[in-house]
Structure 1
């Protein structure tokens, strides 16, 4: 169940990061509220996952899911650039996530 919590926590990280961008510096109440609720949910789920997963594994995967997800959302929904260097960087992050997961017990 810890891996499910961690995946959901990572997905909520994507939500709150996107909502934070859309909040325009917390000047838009709806997006600001989504940011706060999603970030709290993400932290709670991460804490639940950390009950049985190692700190380094849980935190690395949580931030990695959020980073890759925010990168993808930025490109496909917010019109951000997908330069070769940015794509390679994202691939390296993804490789790190896969390696961390494949070497972790739990």
Structure 2
């Protein structure tokens, strides 16, 4: 259950980052509200996951999945670079997250 909570927290990290990018510096209210709400909910889920997972592992997985998800949104929705070196680095982050889960 803790891993599902952590996965939910990582998804919410992607949501808040994308929403805040769309908020234009908090000048657009709805993306701002979505971003702030997702951030708070993500922290709550992370805190709940920390009841059963080690801090270092949980935080590394949360940040790794969140960063990879945000980068994917940037590539797929915002036209950011999908250079092979960048994709390789993202794959290495995912490999590290998988390694933390398995070990």
Pairing 1:22–2:25 present: no
Pairing 1:9–2:9 present: yes
Q: Deviations over 1:5-60 (max 9, x none)?
A: 10100000000010011111111111110110000000000000000100011001
Could you tell which deviates more after superposition, 34-43 or 84-93? Answer: 84-93
Whole-Å separation in 2 of the counterparts to 1:74 and 1:53 = 30
How far the C-alpha of 1:98 sits from its partner, in A, is 0.7
TM-score, normalisation: structure 1: 0.94
Whole-Å separation in 2 of the counterparts to 1:96 and 1:26 = 34
Whole-Å separation in 2 of the counterparts to 1:18 and 1:65 = 14
* Count of residue pairs brought into register by the alignment: 103
How far the C-alpha of 1:85 sits from its partner, in A, is 1.7
TM-score, normalisation: structure 2: 0.97
Moved over 4 A (4+): none
Q: Which residue of 1 aligns with 2:46?
A: 46
Q: Which runs of 5+ in 1 are unaligned?
A: none
| Superposition RMSD in Å | 0.7
Whole-Å separation in 1 of the counterparts to 2:17 and 2:56 = 21
Alignment of 1:1-106 (within 5 A): 1-103=1-103
